[in-house]
Amino acid sequence: MQAVFNSNRQSVVVLGMGGTIAGEGDDPSQTLTYQAGARSVARLMADLPLQCRAQIEATGCAVIGESVAQIDSKDIQWTHWWDLARRVVHWLDEPSVQGLVVTHGTDTLEETAWFLDQVLGHRTRFKPVVITCAMRPATAADADGPQNLADAVVVAASGAVRGVVVCVAGEVFSAQAVQKVHPTRVNAFDGGPVSHIATVHSGVFQRENPDDALPLVSQSRWDRWLTPETPIPKQPWVECVWHTGAASSQLLPLLASAGVDGVVVAATGNGTVNEEWLMQLQSMSVAGVAVRCATRCSHGALVGDKEKGQTFSGLAFYPELNAVKSRVQLCLDLL
């Protein structure tokens, strides 16, 4: 189903994936119990309040809506990521499309953002993909979704960003930096040390520092190969494991003997693991399991041997990626 308003030549396409932004509950005062993903994008757009419509209309862009999925993002699967990427590519290739918005659940939004960033690569160098979400369902009296959706359309239409970015609670983050840091508050995201790259308030988009580079958009292995019909590749089996105090010595050998393709260790501090885990990880690596390290700290990047791209104890890591995004990256690298 498509919903359109404005009839100008340039358009912004809104692709729906579900989430709380499309959530429905019985009681407008209730913001924590509801069904995520209950509403289509067409319904979200039809219900936008007047001030949000006015902000969108001021962009001069037509808005087209398409629901790709209506799920709670905790239920997202590998196939959903590829379905979304294929629809994004379809619309990016339309000459009249200026940019895309994706409405998504907050819980795994950062993984979808990084997945899209990686598979779309150069395809977004002139047209951004702006992901947005909400912490309160569409039925809440003080729903945050409508303004977030309007803000995301403003950003997508602005011509001032590129790549995959996330727009929430008036702030714009890069796909690499964004992370969900709070389970309930309305501004649940931050961008770590990078902070936000822009803001949008009442329909006005503003770069944080006009001299700052926009998010980098690099070529990827997939960007030229990805079409709306590309078959979905088989998902490699990659697990994310936490290294903790009193860490169990059984987990890694179990995974190795079960045939895991890769593991990402959310390691302590600056990428440390105990001696036993280090030895187990080294033997997994020798046996052909792809091993990557990340930090379980919520902020800050690992510092290690830059030339080798390894921690000081010799575990490979993806610079600047947290554990869940490292897992996405490793799945893609193993294709």
- What residues are labeled active site? 20
Among 44, 52, 135, 157, binds ligand SIN (CB under 6 A): 135
Give φ, ψ of 263 to 5 degrees: -135, 140
Is 133 a binding residue for ligand SIN by CB under 6 A? The answer is: yes
- Our CB check for ligand SIN shows the closer of 9 and 74 to be 74
* Shortest spacing between CB 138 and ligand SIN, in angstroms: 11
C-beta separation of 318 from 271 below 8 A: no
Residue nearest to ligand SIN as judged by C-beta position? 105
Considering only residues 45 to 104 of the shown chain, the ones binding ligand SIN according to CB under 6 A are: 72-74
C-beta separation of 137 from 25 below 8 A: yes
* Shortest spacing between CB 22 and ligand SIN, in angstroms: 8
Dist CA 302 CA 319 (whole Å): 7
List the x/- string, 12-51, binding to ligand SIN by CB under 6 A. ------xxx---------------x---------------
- Our CB check for ligand SIN shows the closer of 20 and 326 to be 20
* Shortest spacing between CB 144 and ligand SIN, in angstroms: 10
- Our CB check for ligand SIN shows the closer of 106 and 268 to be 106
C-beta separation of 41 from 16 below 8 A: yes
Dist CA 270 CA 5 (whole Å): 50
C-beta separation of 63 from 3 below 8 A: yes
- Kindly state the tokens that stand for 153: 């359309």
Q: What sign does the dihedral 306-196-32-154 (CA atoms) show?
A: negative
- Our CB check for ligand SIN shows the closer of 104 and 243 to be 104
* Shortest spacing between CB 233 and ligand SIN, in angstroms: 25
The sheet with strand 171-174 has its strands ordered as 4-5, 62-71, 11-18, 97-103, 129-132, 164-168, 171-174, 198-201, 204-207
Q: Which residues of 246-272 are buried (b: 16+ CB within 10 A; e: fewer)?
A: ebeeebbeebbeeebbbbbbbbbebbb
Dist CA 281 CA 291 (whole Å): 7
Considering only residues 229 to 268 of the shown chain, the ones binding ligand SIN according to CB under 6 A are: none
* Shortest spacing between CB 6 and ligand SIN, in angstroms: 27
Angle, CA of 83, 114 and 283, to the nearest 5°: 105
List the x/- string, 187-216, binding to ligand SIN by CB under 6 A. ------------------------------
**Number of residues near ligand SIN (by CB under 6 A):** 12
Considering only residues 100 to 129 of the shown chain, the ones binding ligand SIN according to CB under 6 A are: 105-107
* Shortest spacing between CB 23 and ligand SIN, in angstroms: 7
* Shortest spacing between CB 79 and ligand SIN, in angstroms: 17
Which letter does DSSP use for residue 73 in this model?
G
List the x/- string, 156-185, binding to ligand SIN by CB under 6 A. ------------------------------
- Our CB check for ligand SIN shows the closer of 190 and 223 to be 190
Largest CA distance in the chain: 64
Give the DSSP per-residue string, 84-104: HHHHHHHHHTSTTEEEEEEE-
- Our CB check for ligand SIN shows the closer of 105 and 192 to be 105
C-beta separation of 289 from 263 below 8 A: yes
- Our CB check for ligand SIN shows the closer of 17 and 302 to be 17
Per CB under 6 A, residues contacting ligand SIN are 18-20, 36, 72-74, 105-107, 133, 135
